[in-house]
């Protein structure tokens, strides 16, 4: 498969944004996942959206100076998942979320990204789950229509605490919204104890992929503790002719113990192993830096990957 690797700019929150981009370029990557998270990322809706086209074009120039392109624009318009969820029961809040989404499309086009990620919505305890699901499907269908008109792909990321908190529920939502992609991150399901075999059916709907190590009980963990078989995941993506970006998406935040991981070192280790798994017969200077066991043999988080 054509392995296109990117890295999230929000992986390095303690650096200024321009420095974070330089780090991504130094990692030898070509793509950047741009986070637009209200109140907590380098670039935020409240600062970028007063003039989304102008701001997006500025970002595109900044990326180009580092030899980078925008692989994805990830929108989160509130600091929690619920208050402005796409399927919020309050019509005024849904209308506000739609306006923010339209600005995101303008921003993405100007920034040169062809892919936008949003959150799928939540289950509201004041109503039956079926009602929350139906409203999410309606809102997401509208978003797909708007994105397609601008030649963009829109995807949702199934995540902890969302309406898509199991692989089966994620498939149910995707099946109800033709054209909707998935930004697939195994880690959210691995943390909940789901094996790779139950997550894998989602690969067929994946248009973007988040990669980070995880285990049961930990959304993000070190390389040595990882239980996700990324080699198997890459084979599944290849079988479904996946042509999107695979993003290194370690985060450093005080949530789900994510600040207990060395983001830079873990990103390097996973980068090298993805390269090795994606092209096992291709020599790469990067692979020389892959971690070794105490006995000196190269250690891998992957199952054997056939040629």
Show me where the domains of the chain are located: 5-289
Q: What is the pLDDT of residue 258?
A: 67
Give phi and psi for 266, each to the nearest 5.
-70, -35
pLDDT above 70 coverage of the chain, percent: 89
Q: Indicate if the pLDDT at residue 105 is higher than 70.
A: yes
Name the band, by pLDDT with cuts 50, 70 and 90, for residue 306: very low
| Total number of residues shown for the chain | 307
Answer for the pair 204, 167: CB distance below 8 angstroms, yes or no. no
With H, G, I as helix, E, B as strand and everything else as coil, classify residue 307.
Answer: coil
The reported pLDDT for the residue numbered 254 is 74
Mean pLDDT over 63-72 rounds to 98
Dihedral sign (CA 27, 38, 61, 99): positive
The H or E element containing residue 33 is strand 31-37
The per-residue pLDDT for 296 is 35
Neighbours of 60 (CB within 10 A): 18
As a whole number, the mean pLDDT across the chain is 89
Q: Which residue has the tokens 């309406």?
A: 163
The per-residue pLDDT for range 166-182, each reduced to its tens digit, is: 999 999 999 999 999 99
Query: Given this model, what pLDDT does residue 279 score?
Result: 62
- Topology (CATH) of 5-289: TIM Barrel (3.20.20)
Q: Give the pTM.
A: 0.89
Mean pLDDT of 239-258: 87
Instruction: Kindly tell me the burial class for residue 196, based on how many C-beta atoms sit within 10 Å of its own C-beta (0-12, 13-18, 19 or more).
Output: middle
Q: For residue 255, what pLDDT is reported?
A: 65
Four-CA torsion 197, 203, 204, 206, nearest 10 degrees: 160
Q: Which of 122-136, 232-246, 288-302 has the lowest mean pLDDT?
A: 288-302
| Residue pair 219/160 in contact by the 8 Å Cβ criterion | yes
| Token pair of 165 as six digits | 């908190």
- Cα gap 237→244, rounded to integer Å: 10
Residue appearing with tokens 């919505």: 121
Q: What are phi and psi of 211, to 5 degrees?
A: -120, 125
Task: List the structure tokens of 277.
Answer: 């798994």
Q: Mean pLDDT check: name the lowest of 81-90, 95-104, 273-282, 291-300.
A: 291-300
Across the range 278-293, mean pLDDT stands at 40
Task: Identify the band that residue 302 occupies on the pLDDT scale cut at 50, 70 and 90.
Answer: very low
């Amino acid at each position: 498969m054509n392995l296109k690797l990117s890295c999230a700019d929000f992986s390095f929150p303690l650096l200024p944004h321009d420095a974070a981009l330089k780090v991504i370029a130094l990692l030898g990557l070509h793509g950047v996942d741009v986070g637009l998270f209200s109140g907590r990322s380098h670039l935020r809706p409240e600062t970028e959206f007063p003039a989304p086209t102008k701001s997006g074009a500025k970002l595109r120039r900044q990326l180009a100076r580092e030899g980078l392109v925008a692989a994805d624009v990830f929108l989160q318009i509130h600091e929690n998942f619920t208050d402005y969820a796409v399927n919020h029961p309050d019509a005024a809040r849904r209308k506000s979320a739609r306006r923010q989404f339209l600005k995101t499309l303008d921003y993405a086009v100007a920034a040169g990204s062809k892919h936008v990620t949003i959150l799928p919505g939540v289950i509201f305890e004041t109503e039956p789950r079926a009602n929350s699901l139906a409203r999410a499907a309606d809102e997401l269908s509208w978003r797909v229509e708007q994105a397609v008109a601008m030649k963009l792909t829109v995807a949702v990321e199934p995540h902890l605490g969302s309406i898509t908190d199991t692989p089966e529920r994620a498939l149910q939502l995707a099946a109800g919204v033709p054209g909707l992609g998935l930004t697939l991150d195994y880690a959210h399901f691995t943390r909940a104890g789901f094996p790779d075999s139950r997550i894998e059916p989602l690969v067929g709907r994946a248009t973007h992929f988040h990669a980070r190590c995880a285990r049961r009980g930990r959304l993000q963990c070190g390389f040595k503790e990882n239980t996700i078989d990324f080699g198997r995941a890459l084979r599944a993506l290849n079988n479904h002719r996946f042509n999107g970006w695979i993003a290194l998406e370690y985060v450093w935040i005080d949530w789900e113990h994510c600040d207990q991981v060395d983001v830079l070192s873990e990103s390097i280790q996973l980068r090298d192993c993805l390269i090795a798994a994606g092209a096992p017969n291709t020599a790469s200077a990067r692979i020389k830096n892959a971690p070794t066991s105490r006995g000196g043999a190269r250690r891998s988080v992957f199952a054997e990957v056939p040629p």
